[in-house]
Copies of this chain bind each other. A is one copy, B any other.
């Protein structure tokens, strides 16, 4: 109850209100390690608040992003994904199944170097994304080898 109270207060401090919907969206996003899309998050939250509408999820994700309670992850050819870990950290995305995982690494070195190159800019953050095939898809593709199926090109 303490963490919940703290969160409500943080939200209230920004001049916004902590509603049941907003809390559920935030809690749900914080409770998963995958990085769901708005539609996926809507499906999850719907199990808690049956009547919630997709518009509310989208609206809240945008608000929560502006307030830096969540962060967007944009990947090629897929809807935006969301992350409740707002600190800059790299992601790895599987180009086969589209899953996104956190990479436990702070690439400070190159960031500092880049900052030197970007003279005149006021840098606020960065995002690093690795592309590749996840272990799961690698083993699947080995099991299926010979099959003419799947989005392999």
Chain A residues in the interface with B (C-beta under 8 A): 65-66, 72, 74-77, 80, 90, 92, 95, 103-105, 107-111, 113-114, 117-135, 138, 153
The residue of chain B having its C-beta at the shortest distance from the C-beta of A118 within the complex is B92
Interface centre among A105, A119, A121 (most CB of B within 10 A): A121
What are 25 A-to-B residue pairs whose CB atoms are below 8 Å?
A66-B153, A90-B114, A92-B114, A92-B118, A92-B121, A92-B123, A103-B117, A105-B117, A107-B109, A107-B110, A107-B113, A109-B109, A111-B130, A114-B130, A118-B130, A118-B132, A119-B135, A120-B135, A121-B133, A122-B132, A122-B138, A123-B130, A124-B132, A126-B131, A127-B131
